[in-house]
Amino acid sequence: MICENITVAENGHLKFAGQDVTELAAQYGTPLYLMDEDLIRANCRTYQQAFRKHFGDKARPLYASKANSFKRIYEIMKEEGMGIDVVSSGEIYTALQAGYDLGQAYFHSNNKTDEDIRYSMEHGIGYFVADNVEEIKAIEAEAARRGVRQKVLLRLTPGIDPHTYEAISTGKVDSKFGSAIETGQAEEITAFTLKQPHVELVGFHCHVGSQVFAEDVFERAAVIMLEFVAEMKEKHGFMAQQLDLGGGYGVRYVESDPYLDVDTKVGEVAKAIKDTCARLKIEMPEIHMEPGRSIVGAAGMTLYTVGTVKKIPGYKNYVSVDGGLPDNPRFALYHADYTCLVGNKMNEPANFPCSVVGRCCESGDIIQENVMVPESVGRGDIMAVCTTGAYNYSMASNYNRLPRPPIVMLKGGTEHYVAVRRESLADLCRNDL
Ligand SMILES: *Cc1c(COP(=O)(O)O)cnc(C)c1O
């Protein structure tokens, strides 16, 4: 299986985090998001241990909460001692509702509104990761108004193409994010920021992409960023305290995706960082990374009920489920891979090729193409889509006025509880006047 938390019982039922998915579907209804709380916590600990081991006590992983944002996840991050990154007042509000201390939060985004800046400072945001000069000006103005000095990192683009999907590669010079080192804009914004009386520059940030498996993307980014750190020290007398290398480690969506060992990977990045700091004769800054997908991706599974099975002889077959694009837009967005399994028929051979499609009035409403399922697949079967813990609920919509599914958390092999309730039909009209 693509992840250890997916197993099959003797009766041919799929189990997720040790629990029978057909029973969960019967109890909570479908579509249904499941989240394996134990795996989320284990992933947080894996990152924290690797960071302590390879970078020392001050280094820390921050959970990129856009991957999946709801109250319970911030409570878990608080309990696990994780920093977080947030990208909107909405994520900040949710974190505050969970009692998360915003002092440990980093506010990203390429376009923070004045209201975002005001709201987050009002609630004690720890750090801004400023994308551009305009933002520094807006932060300076708000900090001056409040009579405080606001900590800020600058987002830079190291000019790396991580050979991933175009739509989620963000470290290239022509990206909408950050200031490019290559064009001199990174130095300009650094010099500008250092002149602001109410902004305290604490370091630099970059994020080169997502679902990255390529060998040395983070090492290359780290070297470029450290060379910039050394250059700023020499030219402007500014030594960065923090260096944040962003998120992006990949997870396994399909059998052909490689395994990625976080401890090994972090160890390799740490070696490149230590070697480079020694070569440049600078102290190693506090190292941060921002895993999102690799914390929650494999901790999620979506369950659907199969409806129509349409066979077009000589062409193709369609298996329709009771959700689709509104709860998982990732195939429509960038043809993302997924593994689909018929949860109540795991002991039948998967010999029937089909496209698993949603129920929306949109041809692009596809979960996955070229899926093999048992030939007997039919109405009432449970379709499980694996690795949906990242960028599914957080990207969900109400297209076709479909209520968003609930999130049920699984724990300890037997416990389960609702963390986000299912939207009702009344919820759909709550803002309609
Ligand atoms: C999206 C994003 C992340 C998380 O990326 P993952 O691929 O989910 O690990 C981290 N940092 C920034 C700035 C991001 O935009």
Active site residues: 361
Q: Is residue 433 part of a domain?
A: no
Does residue 412 share a domain with residue 352? yes
Pairing of strands 199-205, 150-157: parallel
User: To test the ligand 1 pocket, which listed residue (40, 43, 66) has its Cβ within 8 A of the most ligand atoms?
Assistant: 66
Comparing C-alpha atoms, which of 130, 245, 146 is closest to residue 194?
130
Does residue 304 share a domain with residue 261? no
Closest atom of ligand 1 relative to the 293 alpha carbon: 8
Does residue 306 share a domain with residue 290? no
3-class SS of residue 227: helix
- Tens-binned pLDDT, residue by residue, of the chain (433 aa): 899 999 999 999 999 999 999 999 999 999 999 999 999 999 999 999 999 999 999 899 999 999 999 999 999 999 999 999 999 999 999 999 999 999 999 999 999 999 999 999 999 999 999 999 999 999 999 999 999 999 999 999 998 776 654 444 556 667 778 899 989 999 999 999 999 999 999 999 999 888 887 778 899 999 999 999 999 999 999 999 999 999 889 999 999 999 999 999 999 999 999 999 999 999 999 999 999 999 999 999 999 999 999 999 999 999 999 999 999 999 999 999 999 999 999 999 999 999 999 999 999 999 999 999 999 999 999 999 999 999 999 999 999 999 999 999 999 999 999 999 999 999 999 999 9
Distance from Cα 109 to the centre of ligand 1, integer Å? 11
Using a 6 Å cutoff on CB, does residue 291 contact ligand 1?
yes
Is 214 buried (19+), middle (13-18) or exposed (0-12) by CB count in 10 A?
Answer: middle
Does residue 70 share a domain with residue 184? yes
CATH number at residue 400: 2.40.37.10
Distance of CA 7 to the CA centre of its chain: 24
Residue 392: CB partners within 8 Å, gap ≥ 6?
A: 33, 68, 300, 302, 327, 328, 330
Does residue 13 share a domain with residue 65? no
| First-to-final CA distance of the chain | 48
Q: Nearest-5° angle of CA 176, CA 181, CA 185?
A: 70
Distance from Cα 291 to the centre of ligand 1, integer Å? 6
Using a 6 Å cutoff on CB, does residue 158 contact ligand 1?
no
Using a 6 Å cutoff on CB, does residue 207 contact ligand 1?
yes
CB 13 within 8 A of CB 22: yes
Does residue 306 share a domain with residue 218? no
Using a 6 Å cutoff on CB, does residue 41 contact ligand 1?
no
Domain around 171? 37-294
Does residue 168 share a domain with residue 21? no
Distance from Cα 62 to the centre of ligand 1, integer Å? 10
- Which helix (H) or strand (E) segment holds residue 232: the answer is helix 217-236
Kindly state the tokens that stand for 164.
Answer: 């991933």
Using a 6 Å cutoff on CB, does residue 205 contact ligand 1?
no
Using a 6 Å cutoff on CB, does residue 251 contact ligand 1?
no
Does residue 358 share a domain with residue 236? no
Model confidence pLDDT, tens digit, residues 128-149: 999 999 999 999 999 999 999 9
CB 7 within 8 A of CB 15: yes
Residue 389: CB partners within 8 Å, gap ≥ 6?
A: 35, 36, 40, 67, 68, 296, 297, 298, 299, 300, 301
Domain boundary pick from 294, 310, 343: 294
Indicate the number of domains in the chain.
Answer: 2
Distance from Cα 248 to the centre of ligand 1, integer Å? 6
CATH number at residue 109: 3.20.20.10
Domain boundary pick from 277, 294, 311: 294
Q: Tell me what pLDDT residue 172 has.
A: 66
Q: Tell me what pLDDT residue 169 has.
A: 52
Report d(CA 136, CA 381) in Å as an integer.
Answer: 54
Domain boundary pick from 247, 271, 294: 294
Model confidence pLDDT, tens digit, residues 7-37: 999 999 999 999 999 999 999 999 999 999 9
Report d(CA 54, CA 240) in Å as an integer.
Answer: 19
Q: Tell me what pLDDT residue 162 has.
A: 65
Does residue 330 share a domain with residue 251? no
Kindly state the tokens that stand for 42.
Answer: 């284990």
Task: Determine if the pTM surpasses 0.85.
Answer: yes
